[in-house]
A and B are shown apart, each in its own frame.
Chain A
Amino acid sequence: EVQLVESGGGLVQPGGSPRLSCAASAFTFSSYAMSWVRQAPGKGLEWVSIISDSGGNTYYADSVKGRFTISRDNSKNTLYLQMNSLRAEDTAIYYCAKTIFGVASDAFDIWGQGTMVTVSS
């Protein structure tokens, strides 16, 4: 079964720098662009970032540009999100998601269960 499992969330102090991971299984990870999407408590979905299949191209939402870095290790079938200079408004469930056909413009057909990041002192 195709699966994505996020980890690395928790309680973080303002200004902190956690790294989220997303372990992929049962598909050819290196052939698909991958993305992060977040959802603040009681709010809607917000796209965060996407990385191409090779890792050579990355794009970010304006709200995280310059603070977050998306990366991947295709040898480990793992996607990452390095989060720096965290603010209270970054508090959210962070989902990783797989693109349906591999290109960094198409829909997200598989989602993880999400990992909660809470930014608070």
Chain B
Amino acid sequence: QSALTQPASVSGSPGQSITISCTGTSTDVGGHNYVFWYQQPPGKAPKLVIYEVSNRPSGVSNRFSGSKSGNTASLTISGLQAEDEADYYCSSYTSSSTYVFGSGTKVSVL
């Protein structure tokens, strides 16, 4: 199972919106709604920010939103803040009953 494709880095100024893409195939991202996004600050464990394409867990800021079109999912962070600096990983359940993660995107706040 190949990793999902994400841009290596995305940056934005405070207050701006950024979008991270995550491209897979019809056997993972495109095949169902089990697509997730995780935030991982340096040296810390990952934190779930989006589940099932577009749902936010309790306690996650509504500045985080998710969507999907075909084999590509997207995470948008609006009103970018310094605390949003982290690595972001998409993930998907697959048709083989396994999971696959994306290659990761480093978000920088300029």
Q: Are B48 and A44 in contact (CB under 8 A)?
A: no
Kindly state the separation between the CA atoms of A59 and B100 in the bound complex, as whole angstroms.
13
Q: Which residue of chain A has the shortest Cβ distance to B58 in the bound complex?
A: A109
Q: Are A111 and B99 in contact (CB under 8 A)?
A: no
Q: Are A47 and B47 in contact (CB under 8 A)?
A: no
Q: Are A45 and B104 in contact (CB under 8 A)?
A: yes
B46 partner, pick from A50, A95, A105, A106, beta carbons under 8 A? A95
Q: Are B45 and A47 in contact (CB under 8 A)?
A: no
The reply to whether the CB of A107 lies closer than 8 angstroms to some CB of chain B is yes
Number of residues on chain B facing chain A (CB within 8 A): 26
A100 contacts which chain B residues (CB < 8 A)? 48, 51, 57
Q: Are A44 and B102 in contact (CB under 8 A)?
A: yes
Q: Which residue of chain A has the shortest Cβ distance to B48 in the bound complex?
A: A109
Most central of A35, A37, A95, A107 by chain B CB within 10 Å:
A107
Q: Are B57 and A111 in contact (CB under 8 A)?
A: no
Q: Are A111 and B98 in contact (CB under 8 A)?
A: no
Q: Are A109 and B99 in contact (CB under 8 A)?
A: no
Chain A: minimal CB distance from B16 (Å): 25
Q: Are B34 and A47 in contact (CB under 8 A)?
A: no
Number of residues on chain A facing chain B (CB within 8 A): 23
Q: Of the 9-residue stretches B19-27, B67-75, B76-84, B89-97, which lies at the interface with chain A?
A: B89-97
A112 contacts which chain B residues (CB < 8 A)? 45
Given A107-B48, A108-B48, answer yes or no on A44-B104 (Cβ-Cβ < 8 Å).
Answer: yes
The 4 lowest CB-CB distance pairs between A and B, nearest first, are A107-B51, A47-B99, A107-B36, A44-B104
Q: Which residues of B contact A (CB under 8 A)?
A: 1, 3, 34, 36, 38, 40, 45-48, 51-52, 57, 87, 89, 91, 93, 96-104
Q: In the complex, given contacts A95-B45, A107-B52, what are 15 additional A-B residue pairs having Cβ atoms less than 8 angstroms apart?
A: A37-B101, A44-B104, A45-B40, A45-B101, A47-B99, A59-B96, A61-B98, A95-B46, A106-B34, A106-B51, A106-B93, A107-B34, A108-B38, A111-B46, A113-B45
